[in-house]
Amino acid sequence: MGKVRFYGLMAALTGSLVSGLAVPGRAEERSPLTPLKKVGTEQRLEVPLLKGDLGGSRLADQATVSHFRDRPRPATTVKEWMAQIEAATVQVTSVSLNRTDTGLEIVLQTAEGKPLQVDATKFRTEGSSLIADIPNAVLALPNAPGFSAANPTPDIATLGVTQQDANTIRVSVAGTGKLPTSEVTLKVGELAYSLNPEVDEPDEEIVVTGQQNGYRVPNATTATKTDTPLRDIPASIQVIPRRILEDQKTTRVQEALENVSGVRKRDNFGGSNAGGYNIRGFDQAGNFRNGFSDNDSYSSVDTANIDRIEVLKGPASVLFGQAEPGGIVNIVTKQPLSTPYYSAEFNVGNYAFYRPSFDISGPLTDDGSVLYRLNVAYQNSESFRDFNFTERVFVAPVITWNISDRTSLTFDLEYLNNDYLYDRGLPSIGDRPAPIPISRFIGLPESVYNDSNLRVGYRLEHEFSQDWQLRNAFSFVSGRLTGDSASGGRALVDNQFAPIFIDRQEFTRKIYTLQTELVGKFKTGSIVHQPLIGVELRRNTWEYTGFGAADSILLDIFNPNYDVDLPAISDEAYFYTTRRDTLGIYLQDQITFADNLKVLVGGRFDTFQRKQTELGETTGEESLSAFNPRVGIVYQPIQPISLYASYTQSFQPDRFFGRSATNEPFKPTRGTQYEVGIKADISEKLSATLAAYQITKTNVVTADPNDPDLSVQVGEQRSRGIELDIGGEILPGLNIIASYTYTDAITSKDNRVVVGNRINNVPEHAASLWTTYELQSGDLKGLGFGLGLYYVGDRYADLENTSIMPSYFRTDFAIYYKRDNWRLGLNIRNLFNETYYETSQSRNIIYPGAPFTVIGSFSIQF
């Protein structure tokens, strides 16, 4: 696509998005609150909360009414109107926090003691946050444009006082996974207002516990390693909250990411719940977990303890080190709660699927200083694929010790054991997947694998002051994958017979990571800086042992005979180990020049050493280094709109040693991205992001034209595209997450692949829509429906572009009913039984999608 067409389409989509801002947003209101009688040990006056009450003065008690001519004359010109607005605006010059016996007091002080217009009937909740908007007020703090505090109490994650628009101050208090249970009070002058909702309505409390978040997540940590509003980040970052996983009954991370633009399944590693992702046209192996690398496409992932999934698009090496340029997937796990919480769920479906799980949390000590959380799940199922099965056990405990108001220590552990059939999908015949049933297994039933993983870590956080925090964290990952492989994946013989090779394999991996970060805030004149300084030490080791059989078996894919004698496996093993040690030092500064102008700059220097041995002999050893910069800018012409642009780079060394004809080690691949975009808060509960980007990946290894047994590092791949994501609540009870993707990803330089070929597994067009509606009142209150529509265009199964996976349109459906503390639901995936192919590893390894699938679920919470 030419530049005119590319940027023309970008302009058209931008215009459509901006015009959509005319849709009015609706904020959910609460019934009037009871005036606060007691805060901690201090006695308060009962003051009537009157709508329009100016600073709490009792308008209803006035004995006389002003004469008409004594009232202020209305403005008759724009100049007079602006002067009256300016005169009515009150400056808030100080914000402070006071801890009480039962919670927290937020104190606002104004210039000359002027009263604020506080209407407590407009206080509300959004997900796990308490929100209070104060009109006709501006922040005029001496050292910062706003006020924020992290973990002021154990059940409050963040507290902020910010300028919402030109004349409105917002006070927001975000709980740790649920609404704060501490009593939160807003003190203005002599008056005190409670931000907490009334607690004598059990229906409201149960809804908050069971549905922790909506579809819109306003903040994320992955892009900056600080809790930053998405609208202030000069990058495209999408968040899948727990609510979507629950509504879709998703047990695979890859399925959840179908809701995000520009993200596709990469492959499926033999039918396991592993594999990786293709983001913006480039493969990314494995995930990050709470900011730590889990860099492996072999290991399974369970969703039981996932709080949310954050997808940062584009090169991420500045904060996360070695990574592909398309982006990363960071899984954020559930954390302990300060109040008791107990949840159990049982799912059952076709293909003999069943999955019980439970999630419990609360304090371990009387003073609440030690908290715990435990997630456990068991899954057993067959499959639409012949002989295929999965049996999985997952356990994930977490303990947090709040040592003091400023220091906390968290320990977490995960254990997963997964048994499954190693299944490499279907081959191609001609330029399409072979015309055989999608259920057919191309291999032998003896092809069984076991995948076990252990993750252990800690996180220590200490606040030196309100503005400076030190974080130290450690992660250890140990994984083992072993089994007998008797599967296909090779080119067919005579377009009929699949060679089945028999071997026994064992992969083991260990990842040790230590991170230390200092986060702060200071001012230089009127400019606010939020620096991040970090050091990361990481050691990755991989070991592989393989035993192979001398002979293969030919399996007729049209009339397979699985009852065959297996050839003997050789006693001679192939064995190699690879170790990589990395030291990364990174700096970042989030700079606020004005309330509507923000700049992000950063850089990271990595040095790493690699060593590889084969059969006990050292076959490679080298030292490399790389520097990666990032710079971005955000401009907000009006409050709901953010315009941004960014430039960033990435690097990724090969896991295995590759060398040129001159025996020189290959350099890491490098990625460079330019991106522009627009973010819009269409309403307080609905947001959208529109982005356009171009990524170039260089140092790609390709065949040596002078020697087919050697390689040279002259290849290049280029991806450019447009992405649109929308998420949130349109109306009360009506939630949506939708996306559109245009991707032009090609090979731009190569000696083997034809220049201009499309990168495999990347459709030119893709779109998704998932929406739910829940009745808000009446006898059927709690009854909800969900509808999912997913379109994926044609994709090539291989870089050579010899086999095509046809486009498909899949429809999903859900119906559920919530009552009190329980939920009963039914989810249908592929409602119309569409035959389609999800992803591929090559033209001879193509994975079909599941046909009509039903999951029934029942959950209960206490």
List the beta bridge partners of residue 586. 534, 604
419 lies in the same domain as 393: yes
Summarised one tens digit per residue, pLDDT across range 452-492 is: 999 999 999 999 998 999 999 999 999 999 998 888 888 99
Residue 259's SS3 state is helix
CATH number of the domain where residue 231 is located: 2.170.130.10
Beta strands in 665-706 (DSSP E): 669-683, 686-704
In a domain, 17, yes or no: no
Low-confidence residues of the chain, pLDDT below 70? Answer: 1-88, 177, 198-213, 268-269, 271-275, 295-297, 550, 655-663, 703-710
Q: How far is the C-alpha of 656 from the C-alpha of 133, rounded, in Å?
A: 56
Summarised one tens digit per residue, pLDDT across range 402-455 is: 999 899 999 999 999 999 999 999 999 999 999 999 999 999 999 999 999 999
350 lies in the same domain as 322: no
Q: Which domain holds residue 300?
A: 219-330
Q: Classify 705 in phi/psi space as left (phi over 0), alpha (psi -120 to 50) or beta.
A: alpha
598 lies in the same domain as 571: yes
Amino acid at 485: S
In a domain, 1, yes or no: no
In a domain, 213, yes or no: no
- List the structure tokens of 861: 């919470």
621 lies in the same domain as 763: yes
Residue 98 in contact with residue 104, Cβ under 8 Å? yes
587 lies in the same domain as 723: yes
552 lies in the same domain as 655: yes
702 lies in the same domain as 788: yes
In a domain, 11, yes or no: no
Q: What pLDDT shows up at residue 473?
A: 98
Total tally of structural domains belonging to the chain: 3
Q: What is the pTM of this model?
A: 0.78
Residue with tokens 């931008």: 14
Residue with tokens 């040790």: 512
293 lies in the same domain as 144: no
381 lies in the same domain as 285: no
Domain-terminating residue out of 330, 360, 387: 330
Domain-terminating residue out of 293, 310, 330: 330
In a domain, 214, yes or no: no
List the beta bridge partners of residue 433. 428
545 lies in the same domain as 417: yes
In a domain, 9, yes or no: no
Question: CA dihedral defined by 116, 121, 122, 124, rounded to 10 degrees?
Answer: 120
- HEC profile of 172-236: EEEECCCCCCCEEEEEECCEEEECCCCCCCHHHHHHHHHCCCCCCCCEECCCCCCCEEHHHCCCC
Q: What pLDDT shows up at residue 38?
A: 35
441 lies in the same domain as 400: yes
- Reported as type and span, the H/E element at residue 319 is helix 317-320
CATH number of the domain where residue 684 is located: 2.40.170.20
Summarised one tens digit per residue, pLDDT across range 284-337 is: 887 899 999 886 667 788 999 999 999 999 999 999 999 999 999 999 999 999
Residue 703 in contact with residue 751, Cβ under 8 Å? yes
Domain-terminating residue out of 137, 162, 197: 197
Q: What pLDDT shows up at residue 36?
A: 38
165 lies in the same domain as 230: no
In a domain, 472, yes or no: yes
In a domain, 652, yes or no: yes
Q: How far is the C-alpha of 555 from the C-alpha of 539, rounded, in Å?
A: 42
Backbone φ, ψ for residue 50 (5° rounding): -100, 135
Q: What pLDDT shows up at residue 660?
A: 62
Quick one: CA dihedral 811, 240, 816, 856, positive or negative?
positive
